[in-house]
Homo-oligomer: A and B are copies of this chain.
Amino acid sequence: MSVKSNLQIARSAYKPKLPTALQGPVKSIEGAATESVGNQSEIKELFPNTYGMPVVEFAKGDSKTFPQFNVGIILSGGQAPGGHNVISGLYDGVKSLNPNNKLYGFLMGPGGLVDHKYMEITPALIDEYRNTGGFDIIGSGRTKLEEVDQFEKGIEILRELSIRALVIIGGDDSNTNACVLAEYYAAKKYGVQVIGCPKTIDGDLKNSQIETSFGFDTACKTYSELIGNIERDCNSARKYWHFIKVMGRSASHIALECALQTQPNICLISEEVEAKEQSLDDIVSYIAGIVAKRAENGNNFGTVIIPEGLIEFVPAIKKLIAELNDVLATPEAQAVSRDEQIDFVKSHLSSANLAVFNSLPAGVARQLALDRDPHGNVQVSLIETEKLLSEMVGKKLAEMKKDGKFVGKFSAQHHFFGYEGRCAAPSNFDADYCYSLGYNASRLIVEGKTGYMSVIRNTTAPASEWIAGGVPITMMMNLEKRNGKMKPVIRKALVELDGAPFKYFAANRDEWAVETAYVYPGSIQYWGPSEVCDQPTKTLKLEHNK
């Protein structure tokens, strides 16, 4: 018998809110034929059976009875708060259509489908996981469903379990693959539908149809709680600069949302660094400049938020890494002993990249030259960007001090927040949003849809006013180069520099830099005043002009 915390026990009784349209029988209202966001003819050719389908919206409909059917569910990729509520919403939705319907979970990600590892989601099991964080009910995994062999192994078990539809909860890649699978099963007339669900704490799976990916809300609020606590400490002790890295390898949505929540002195946005073609020295000078300005006012403390992927967005570093990968892939490089590798690298880099290499702190340069991943590539993710930056800022400030341009003290602390938020118990927003996404998927299934993503819109309004429906996944696709080949993919949403969230940040950051304008969001609240418990992210509000 597992021990539960008091919060787990009390929170399990929470009844997630559903859009009014889903609180009973639905009818589907179908729009016009759709087009993909890019490369229309190529995408159409690749997806002849799932291209051009209409957007679907649900409205209240007449009561109907449905024959018994079974559904499968898969969690794909990294954890995000609310995954269990997608499953409980799907479970309740499927049971509401016919109490004899069954829901099967494939274990440890898409691999469970291929390897025929699954379990039935029973009432007792689902009740254990309502409104909880994590993906531990069935586990997740990173196996990519891309090969015909996998699809064929999948159909064996789907037929054995009489599964009519498969719901895949994942990010952009997993939803792309869900659509490839939907297309394959449709082309083969296997009679199995595939529905996707937009998940990722990174917040980069969004577009004109999808307002936000689930988990972003809870993860950002958890990180913001911690950043706010650190800011308060920073403003009490008044002696440290805190360099805080937050998850987000591709997009900087998390860093930006945390900055909107906590108003730090500095927040770097990878997309801006790339757009402005900033060098590492530009970034370091920017930070050092603010440190010096605050020191003039007697404030030898501050907070800096850094997106995890920053370093790869610095054009000069990107080029250096590309050449390093090439240089180190040569047979000549392989033959060099570890001791000689740094000299070898230096003698083979172009002069521009050598200059960048030499500008890096010794530890980072050594790591870039020596540590390989299993594919032989430089391990950028191992670089502790927060320490790299604070070390370089420290050096810059020491130079400035000699010139009388810095009069204060500089002492740094470092933090990295990622795993701390990916499995937090979902906020009310994510609990409701995820439950609705799962419940909604059951309606897409009985409407016979495949190759659709479950979509809930109007999410800045109260949940009762949310709009439920489905969007053809092909509609979000274009062709992009992956490993040297053009592939159909869902376009990843990076931070838009002309979008409302970034513009709000950019308009305020100079004031936040010099003033101490910290905001302390505190821990996620599940009970209490609605303005505390039920707010969507600042990003969502700004994007929807609320």
Q: A10-B529, A79-B233, A140-B237 are in contact. Are A133 and B520 (CB under 8 A)?
A: yes
A526-544 with Cβ < 8 A to chain B: 526-529, 531-532, 535
Given contacts A3-B517, A242-B419, A528-B10, contact A134 B233 (CB under 8 A): yes
A59 at the interface (CB under 8 A from B): no
CB distance from A103 to the nearest CB of B (A): 19
With a cutoff of 8 Å between Cβ atoms, the chain B residues found around residue A528 in the complex are 10, 525-528
Task: Evaluate contact between B229 and A133: CB separation under 8 angstroms.
Answer: yes
Q: Complex Cα distance A235/B422, Å? A: 12
Contact B424 A419 (CB under 8 A): no
Q: Which of B229, B235, B420, B532 contacts A229 (CB 8 A)?
A: B420
Q: A420-B226, A421-B229, A525-B526 are in contact. Are A4 and B238 (CB under 8 A)?
A: no
This chain: how many copies in the complex? 2
Q: Report which of B135, B225, B415 forms a contact with A236, defined as CB distance below 8 A.
A: B135
Task: Report if A222 contacts B (CB, 8 A).
Answer: yes
Taking CB atoms and an 8 Å cut-off, the chain A residues in 492-539 that contact chain B are: 517, 519-529, 531-532, 535
Tell me if A5 counts as interface (CB < 8 A to partner B). yes
User: Interface of chain A, helix or strand or loop or mixed?
Assistant: loop
Q: How far is the CB of A234 from chain B (nearest CB, A)?
A: 8
Q: Are A134 and B519 in contact (CB under 8 A)?
A: no
Instruction: Digitize A114-146: 1 where CB-to-B-CB distance is under 8 Å, 0 elsewhere.
Output: 000000000000000000111110011000000
Q: How far is the CB of A428 from chain B (nearest CB, A)?
A: 12
- By a CB distance below 8 angstroms, the chain B residues around A295 are none
A351 interface residue, CB < 8 Å from B? Answer: no
Closest chain B residue, CB of each to CB of A133:
B232
Interface hits, A229-276 → B, CB 8 Å: 229-230, 232-238, 242, 261, 263
Contacting residues, chain B, for A420 (C-beta < 8 A): 226, 229-230, 415
Q: Are A134 and B232 in contact (CB under 8 A)?
A: yes
Q: Do A232 and B526 form a contact, CB below 8 Å, given A3-B519, A139-B238, A517-B3?
A: no
Contact between A7 and B233, CB atoms less than 8 A apart: no
Most buried by B among A132, A139, A525: A525
Q: Is there a chain B Cβ closer than 8 Å to A425's Cβ?
A: yes
Within 8 A of B (CB), among A87-105: none
User: A residues within 8 Å of B by Cβ?
Assistant: 2-8, 10-11, 78-79, 108, 132-136, 139-140, 222, 225-226, 228-230, 232-238, 242, 261, 263, 413, 415, 419-425, 517, 519-529, 531-532, 535
> Which 4 A-B residue pairings sit nearest by Cβ, starting from the closest?
A527-B528, A523-B523, A232-B423, A134-B232
7 A-B contacts (beta carbon < 8 Å): A7-B522, A79-B236, A136-B236, A229-B421, A229-B422, A230-B420, A236-B423
